[in-house]
Amino acid sequence: MFLHPREAVLNALDVNHRGFAVVHHYLDVAVQQTAVSWEDCYDDLTEVHGATLATTVRERVRAVGRGGALRNTTLRMTTVANCGQHLYDAGGRRYRILERPLSKASPGRLLPATEPEVDTLFGTIERLDFELAVLWSVANKAKSLNKAVLAAIADFESQNPVIYAEEPLPAPLAVTLASAPPVLADGAATDSDETTMPTGFGDLFGEEEQGTGESS
């Protein structure tokens, strides 16, 4: 069944609400920690090279995530090339965590969402290629997370990425280890989201994913 991008976003947020709230918390903490880590070098975050800033945030997300807060949610996080973080739900669907691109039409502004044209002169489009991803951006002056959304995106690695639909992530939810299941179903304790695969996830995506180094 064809899902409109907005329907797909809303459905994913509904099914994985708690998990995305925890991820929102990860990003909130990661961006603030990143800002603090560069204060002795730069007065303004805009002076930090974009690739360096994004990589540092990704690594901070990984570090914060090692506390295991996602263990009692429907999402799991794994690390790929360039410190990229990918989320997987119980059905095996992937959600990349990506920095929101800038608009080429309006330099300095974030790329806006553009509703796809589904009903055309030639009939209704029965399939639209897109993926769901968490997009984040930084409020440079406030040195904090500006916005985190779940979005339906296409052609993200191209020169003309498209955002078909987006919805804000649930409010940040800080979950401590004390509130997470302390032991796996097989009796093995762990404190890392990256290696925790409780009953219900099985072997959805096997070993840690290996990237090419070109994209996260």
CA atoms in the 13 A half-sphere facing the CB of 61: 33
Q: According to the model, what pLDDT value does residue 71 have?
A: 86
Confidence at residue 124, expressed as pLDDT on a 0 to 100 scale: 56
Report the alpha-carbon distance of residue 47 to residue 38 in Å, rounded: 10
Residue 75 CB: number of other CB atoms within 10 A?
22
CB 83 within 8 A of CB 216: yes
Q: What is the crossing angle of helices 50-65 and 17-37, to 10°?
A: 130
Tracing tokens 């976003």 back to the chain, one arrives at: 9
pLDDT digits (tens, 9 = 90+) for 100-134: 999 988 888 999 998 877 665 555 556 678 999 99
| Per-residue model confidence (pLDDT) at position 184 | 29
H or E, element range at 120: strand 119-120
Q: What is the pLDDT of residue 45?
A: 84
Query: Residues 208, 214, 216, CA angle at the centre, nearest 5°?
Result: 50
pLDDT at 83: 83
Name the stretches of the chain with pLDDT < 50: 1, 177-192, 194-214
> What CA–CA distance (Å, rounded) separates 118 from 6?
12
Residues in the chain: 216
pLDDT recorded at residue 118: 63
